[in-house]
Amino acid sequence: MTFSRKEQWIIFMTVNGCLVMFIALFPIYCKYIRGAVRTGCFMLDTIRIYCPACGGTRAVISLLNFDFLSSILFNPIVLYTIFFSTLYIITEIIN
């Protein structure tokens, strides 16, 4: 489906207008409606669920301290990523 130049302009202005309104009103929402508690994670702050990266920094710090159990409990994706990345690099070196 092809849009005319005028329709493209209307869609562009509508999308950008919504984006500007979101950017302008989001801090007000965070401060007055939802409360002033901020965790630093956008998903956790807005929709109150943990994102796949939550706990990633703590998991890396635990790995650097050789505390593998805490690392897995904080975020298992970090350990899996390191393991499979290392495995991939080793197989590429061998081949």
Contact 78, 56 (CB under 8 A): yes
pTM for the full predicted model: 0.47
Q: Give the type of residue at 12.
A: F
pLDDT at 35 over 60: no
pLDDT at 1 over 80: no
Q: Which of 31-35, 56-60, 69-73, 91-95 has the lowest mean pLDDT?
A: 31-35
More confident residue, 58 or 86: 86
Query: pLDDT, tens digit, for every residue of 39-85?
Result: 566 677 677 777 777 788 788 888 888 888 988 888 888 888 888 99
Q: Count helices and strands (H / E) in the chain.
A: 5, 0
SS3 75: coil
